[in-house]
């Protein structure tokens, strides 16, 4: 059976020593998050994930969710008790403002909790995770009345939330959306239509479910400019917050999926359901877009989370399984064979996963901190810089962390040999669960298009220019530091590849959009390798400093330096291959007639 | 529901025009395989796979196999009828010599059938597939009496076969094997022990199951030099071939696996079962190794097969699903949106799979032909050259075709967006089924070690030197051909990378085996990219020639040239990245203390 231990030490090192959390004490909610408090909160977060959520991960996979004939959905055995424990701990409202009964702590901590919970039990973590997404939309776009009515019970976890976008005929292309919203005399709307792939759309964990639904008000313009956002509660809510009658929303069926069996993926039928407009009419997509950075970062973290838990289990197996002898001579001469971690190729797999995990965590926390700065800083310049960087890096993180997170899970499974293919071992579940993160919340191809088509050219490339300048400044600052040479030089080469690719796009994609779209996936991965390399260089910088302070007891920091060096030597050089693919252009692949495929 | 169409035209093009099958008419069994006969056989092979095996693929996945309390195993509904149709068609004995009631046709055709059947229904195809493996071992190492007794009913499909190697404590490291064989007075042995992960170990498709079992004769030396190979029939067989009493072999349980649910993966308990020594005592591993080229090629083809069927279905979806507009302007202006194949990134995925499939098929058939030459040619030099090349390329094909086949299935799934994650669509099954091919028959890390540690240095590198010379000669021959420039130049660069990597290994791995083992996986993939590039160049050469002959109707050949060019531009450049990883060496990853992971 798989196990899980939350990487609290690594998170604390990243927050305190790499990202210098204490420098943000002036941000709302950060004053309370001293290093001691951080350690305590993360310790508690780890504990509930390890002890309550993780033991239910296999159960959830095996049992899945069951829809009853009346449209209600039963979650796997134990999920309800675990959910109660989760919300009793206050984890649902961690970063919600205190005026709506939340704890008002940094959003960054909610991202940490999301990582731990997703490692422990991804299907479970999605129930509170989707509530976070719905909360973010409500807090940003809801009226004061809507916030007062809906946010406190959602922050408390008594109610959960969902996002209803996809319909059978439209996923990526929301312009094709047909769900209707007919205005009623009381100012509300009657919503009619079918939504599919609605995660946590129906379940038995909470008293109520608040659906956020995209629909088209009667007479609205066609396409994406005629889409509005609505609140539609599963059970209607009186002005005093009490629950009244059942709304006309029904789970029509649940999907049988490759993974995340413990989360109900629902077809939701709206049959004249009561709904309330959020924000302005026909501006629903904008409302959605604003909150997408956070939702996409949440999915990026799921990629990391599956990689981390897969790593931990594969590592334990590699230390325990005896098979063959080390090429350099027996390491366990008295035993029947050596533990397989002595084999260089097993080690290579472990190192690749480890080198990804630690940098991915750093990147995700850095992005989360940017989100906090963007929302909480009183310095307009700092806000803009953070928002720019977050906007630029969000598609990179979503695309790259989920792609590589899945690859990590596959590598971890490989370490198990035949045992990795057996359900009982648990590692194949990580592969199946990780797979969805590459698809939902905008498939990774869409992330790549968002990066190249929107984020890169936005504001005349301001965000990208600033990011390149930031990395260049780091390189310049550290280039005289001999200890940093193994990090700075490869980073410089890789940044050069990224800049060359960016210039190629400017020169070749404007007049020929197929070149931009055709190169987008490689560009996203090239960008990701550089971003991971940059955070590795920052981690190395911090590790060198802390190692000096540690005076002798530096093994933990040495491991960081070795792992980072491995990244620089073995993984970062992929940038030149990506550059070659990009500059090869799209002509050949676009020239094949459809009928010749 | 997924569909499948056997790529008969592509196979025939490869056999006739790229590999020039007609030149081998002097080999045993090849004289009958004229182009017309080939077309007819492959047409029939495709038909049964499309019409009988493919419709049972989802059924097999959903139902799986069921072990009853008495140890018997029921295969999914319909498998028995399909199996009867399969053996009635003579497909089980296609390449078995006529003197043992087979059809004596080229082994290459059996490889084609394996591809089609594995695309249609991989779990099903494993039942006759494992029989092929057992047949190969018996034909090569069995006594004349054993061959007369066991081969004809296996060739006819009335009996099936299995391979019993793995035990709970030993997979890769067969030296740890503990299953015992105690000599009996009648010259047979009593076999006792537990074997795990035995594919097709028990089922209801055939009258009898012939297990080939590795065991240690009492008093044999420890390690791999004390292992012998035995025949142990499920039901004992009298001298006249009639079935007598039940042998003491029992399926103890079946595994619940990530995929290939339709094939029973059994724990087999041997409780003093009657067994017959095959070949010499203590030489069992050698007997196994000799037949491994074919078994590994069979698994390599499974990787291609899943990639092919995943491609066909993703392509159909990409032509049908309407979403968004082409970046270069609407292509389906009267419809609500364009088919997603217009999107460059969707096309990129499809092209990557297609460019892999067509070359992988060429490589697999080329290797199969080498196997035929090695076994059937009367020219000793030709036999040795073919054996050398087959031995060298087998680990490359097994490792690279299964890794890339799995990646293809993942890419195909991605094209479906959220629909690809739903079981009903069927594409996620291809991902789950394809995953095992990277693991069994020697995990891909073991293939890489076999390549670098055994095949490369064997006979002072004779096979590798010959392969490099062959590719170089092709390059030299075609370098003046302008039409071939887009193929020859990238191939030259890639071959240069492979040769540099080989020299690096010679200089750095001999004294430091960790460098060899640590680089092995990258070297295998580097070799694979070059081998795929080489066959693409040969395909292009043939396509150019056939296009000239076709006079005008050259669209089919143009597609080949475009797809090959795409391979050269986008996929082959990976060789330089692999070279960089190899030459970075293993020092960094080996330096991390185990406790620091």
- Measured between CA atoms, the residue of chain A closest to residue B435 is A421
Measured CA to CA, the distance from residue B29 to residue B36 in angstroms comes to 15
Nearest-Cα distance to chain B for A335, in Å, is 11
For residue A215, the model assigns a pLDDT of: 98
Q: Which of A315, A580, A597 sits opposite B315 (nearest CB)?
A: A597
Q: Which of A337, A402, A592, A595 to mutate to test the interface with B (most CBs of B within 10 A)?
A: A592
CB contact under 8 A, B176 and A336: yes
Contacts A324 to B, Cβ<8 Å: 172-173
- Measured between CA atoms, the residue of chain B closest to residue A346 is B445
Do residues B530 and A556 make contact, with C-beta atoms less than 8 angstroms apart? no
ipTM for the whole predicted complex goes beyond 0.90: yes
CA dihedral B295, B301, B302, B303 (to 10 degrees): 120
Contacts B596 to A, Cβ<8 Å: 555-556, 558-559, 562
- Taking residue A191's Cβ as centre, other Cβ atoms within 10 Å add up to 28
**Helix then strand then coil, % of chain A, to nearest 5:** 65, 10, 25
For residue A509, the model assigns a pLDDT of: 93
CB contact under 8 A, B596 and A559: yes
- Measured between CA atoms, the residue of chain B closest to residue A417 is B439
For residue B291, the model assigns a pLDDT of: 73
Nearest-Cα distance to chain B for A246, in Å, is 29
Contacts B589 to A, Cβ<8 Å: 344, 347-348, 351, 566, 570
Cβ–Cβ pairs < 8 A, chains A and B: 260
DSSP H or E segment with residue B231:
strand B228-233
For residue B289, the model assigns a pLDDT of: 79
Nearest-Cα distance to chain B for A110, in Å, is 26
CB contact under 8 A, A443 and B328: no
For residue B552, the model assigns a pLDDT of: 76
Q: Which of A326, A327, A352, A403 to mutate to test the interface with B (most CBs of B within 10 A)?
A: A327
DSSP H or E segment with residue B527:
helix B513-550
Which segments of A119-224 are extended strands (E)?
159-164, 180-183, 189-199, 208-217
Nearest-Cα distance to chain A for B256, in Å, is 6
CB contact under 8 A, B581 and A589: no
Question: How far is residue A203 from each of residues A77, A116, B198, measured CA to CA in Å?
Answer: 12, 23, 40
CB contact under 8 A, B576 and A580: yes
Contacts B445 to A, Cβ<8 Å: 343, 345-346, 349, 414
Spatial CB neighbours of A402, under 8 Å, sequence gap ≥ 6: A299, A300, A302, A303, A434, A437, A438, A444
- State the average pLDDT for chain A: 97
Nearest-Cα distance to chain A for B90, in Å, is 32
| pLDDT band, residue A289 (cuts 50/70/90) | confident
For residue B293, the model assigns a pLDDT of: 79
Contacts A562 to B, Cβ<8 Å: 588, 591-592, 596
Nearest-Cα distance to chain A for B365, in Å, is 22
Q: Closest Cα to residue A218, out of A179, A190, A182?
A: A182
pLDDT digits (tens, 9 = 90+) for A359-374: 999 999 999 999 999 9
CB contact under 8 A, A421 and B176: no
- Measured between CA atoms, the residue of chain A closest to residue B447 is A345
DSSP H or E segment with residue B437:
helix B427-437
CB contact under 8 A, B169 and A322: yes
For residue B550, the model assigns a pLDDT of: 86
Contacts B584 to A, Cβ<8 Å: 569-570, 573
Q: Which of B336, B417, B449 sits opposite A439 (nearest CB)?
A: B417
Write the secondary structure of A511-527 as one string of H (helix), E (strand) and C (coil): CCHHHHHHHHHHHHHHH
- Measured between CA atoms, the residue of chain B closest to residue A407 is B407
Catalytic residue of the set A308, A441, A478, A595: A441
* Residue A292 pLDDT greater than 90, yes or no: no
Nearest-Cα distance to chain A for B330, in Å, is 13
CB contact under 8 A, A421 and B435: yes
Q: Which of B177, B320, B348, B426 to mutate to test the interface with A (most CBs of A within 10 A)?
A: B348
Do residues A197 and A251 make contact, with C-beta atoms less than 8 angstroms apart? no
What percentage of chain A exceeds 70 in pLDDT? 100
- Taking residue B309's Cβ as centre, other Cβ atoms within 10 Å add up to 34
- Taking residue A147's Cβ as centre, other Cβ atoms within 10 Å add up to 18
Mean pLDDT by 10 residues, chain B (597 residues): 96 98 94 92 98 98 98 98 97 95 96 98 97 94 97 98 96 95 98 98 98 97 96 98 98 98 98 98 88 89 98 98 95 97 98 98 98 96 97 98 98 98 97 98 97 96 98 97 98 98 96 95 98 98 95 91 98 98 97 97
pLDDT digits (tens, 9 = 90+) for A16-39: 999 999 999 999 999 988 999 999
Measured CA to CA, the distance from residue A520 to residue A508 in angstroms comes to 12
CB contact under 8 A, A171 and B517: no
- Measured between CA atoms, the residue of chain B closest to residue A453 is B327
| Residue B278 bridge partners (DSSP) | B229
For residue A32, the model assigns a pLDDT of: 81
CB contact under 8 A, B518 and A345: yes
For residue A407, the model assigns a pLDDT of: 98
Q: Which of B313, B521, B570 to mutate to test the interface with A (most CBs of A within 10 A)?
A: B570
Catalytic residues of B, by residue number, are: 441
Q: Report residue A66: phi and psi, to 5°.
A: -125, 125
Contacts A431 to B, Cβ<8 Å: 258, 435
Q: Which of A324, A517, A595 sits opposite B327 (nearest CB)?
A: A517
Q: Which of B410, B431, B581, B588 to mutate to test the interface with A (most CBs of A within 10 A)?
A: B588
CB contact under 8 A, B259 and A421: yes
CB contact under 8 A, A573 and B577: yes
Q: Report residue A279: phi and psi, to 5°.
A: 70, -155
Helix residue spans in B174-254 (DSSP H): none
pLDDT digits (tens, 9 = 90+) for A342-398: 999 999 999 999 999 999 999 999 999 999 999 999 999 999 999 999 999 999 999
Q: Report residue A337: phi and psi, to 5°.
A: -165, 175
Q: How many residues can be counted in chain B? A: 597
- Measured between CA atoms, the residue of chain B closest to residue A418 is B439
For residue B288, the model assigns a pLDDT of: 82
Contacts A327 to B, Cβ<8 Å: 513-514, 516-517
pLDDT digits (tens, 9 = 90+) for A35-72: 999 999 999 999 999 999 999 999 999 999 999 999 99
Contacts B327 to A, Cβ<8 Å: 513-514, 516-517
Q: Is the whole-model pTM more than 0.90?
A: yes
């Amino acid at each position: 059976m798989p196990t899980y231990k939350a990487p609290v030490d690594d998170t604390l090192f990243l927050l305190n020593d790499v990202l210098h959390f204490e420098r943000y004490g002036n941000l709302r909610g950060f004053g309370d998050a001293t290093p001691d408090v951080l350690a305590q909160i993360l310790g508690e977060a780890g504990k509930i994930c390890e002890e309550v959520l993780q033991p239910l991960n296999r159960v959830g996979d095996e049992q899945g969710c069951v829809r009853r004939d009346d449209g209600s959905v039963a979650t796997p055995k134990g999920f309800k008790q675990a959910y109660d424990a989760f919300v009793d701990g206050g984890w649902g409202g961690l970063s919600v403002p205190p005026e709506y009964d939340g704890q008002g702590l940094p959003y960054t901590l909610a991202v940490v909790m999301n990582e731990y919970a997703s490692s422990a039990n991804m299907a479970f973590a999605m129930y509170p995770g989707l509530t976070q997404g719905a909360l973010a939309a409500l807090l940003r776009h809801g009226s004061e009345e809507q916030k007062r009515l809906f946010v406190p019970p959602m922050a408390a976890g008594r109610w959960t939330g969902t996002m209803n976008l996809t319909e059978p005929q439209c996923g990526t292309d929301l312009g094709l959306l047909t769900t209707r919203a007919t205005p009623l005399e009381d100012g509300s709307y009657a919503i009619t239509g079918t939504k599919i792939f609605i995660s946590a759309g129906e379940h038995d964990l909470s008293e109520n479910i608040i659906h956020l639904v995209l629909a088209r008000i009667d007479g609205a313009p066609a396409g994406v400019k005629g889409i509005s956002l609505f609140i539609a509660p599963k059970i209607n809510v009186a002005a005093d917050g009490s629950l009244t009658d059942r709304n006309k929303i029904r789970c029509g069926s649940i999907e049988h999926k490759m993974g995340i069996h413990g989360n109900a993926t629902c077809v939701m039928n709206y049959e004249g359901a009561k709904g309330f407009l959020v924000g302005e009419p026909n501006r629903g997509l904008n409302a959605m877009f604003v909150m997408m950075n956070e939702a996409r970062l949440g999915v990026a973290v799921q990629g990391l989370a599956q990689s981390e838990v897969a790593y931990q289990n594969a590592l334990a197996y590699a230390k325990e399984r005896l098979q063959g002898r080390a090429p350099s001579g027996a390491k366990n001469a008295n035993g029947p064979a050596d533990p397989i971690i002595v084999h260089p190729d097993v080690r290579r797999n472990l190192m690749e996963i480890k080198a990804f995990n630690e940098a991915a965590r750093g990147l995700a926390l850095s992005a989360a901190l940017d989100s906090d700065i963007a929302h909480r800083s009183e310095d307009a310049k700092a806000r803009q810089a953070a928002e720019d960087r977050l906007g630029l890096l969000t598609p990179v993180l979503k695309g790259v962390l989920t792609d590589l997170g899945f690859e990590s899970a596959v590598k971890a499974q490989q370490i198990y040999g035949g045992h990795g293919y057996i359900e009982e071992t648990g590692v194949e579940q990580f592969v199946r669960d990780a797979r969805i993160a590459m698809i939902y919340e905008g498939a990774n191809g869409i992330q790549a298009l968002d990066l190249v088509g929107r984020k890169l050219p936005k504001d005349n490339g301001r965000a990208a220019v600033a990011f390149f300048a930031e990395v260049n400044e780091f390189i310049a600052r550290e280039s005289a530091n001999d200890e940093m040479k193994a990090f700075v030089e490869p980073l410089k080469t890789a940044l050069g590849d990224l800049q060359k690719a960016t210039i190629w796009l400017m020169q070749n994609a404007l007049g020929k959009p197929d070149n931009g779209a055709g190169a987008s996936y490689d560009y996203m991965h090239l960008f990701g390798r550089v971003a991971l390399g940059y955070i590795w260089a920052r981690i190395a910088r911090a590790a060198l400093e802390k190692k000096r302070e540690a005076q002798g007891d530096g093994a933990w920091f040495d491991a960081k330096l070795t792992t980072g060096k491995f990244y620089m030597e073995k993984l970062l050089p992929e940038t030149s291959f990506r550059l070659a693919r990009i500059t090869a252009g799209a002509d050949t692949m676009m020239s094949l007639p459809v009928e010749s495929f």
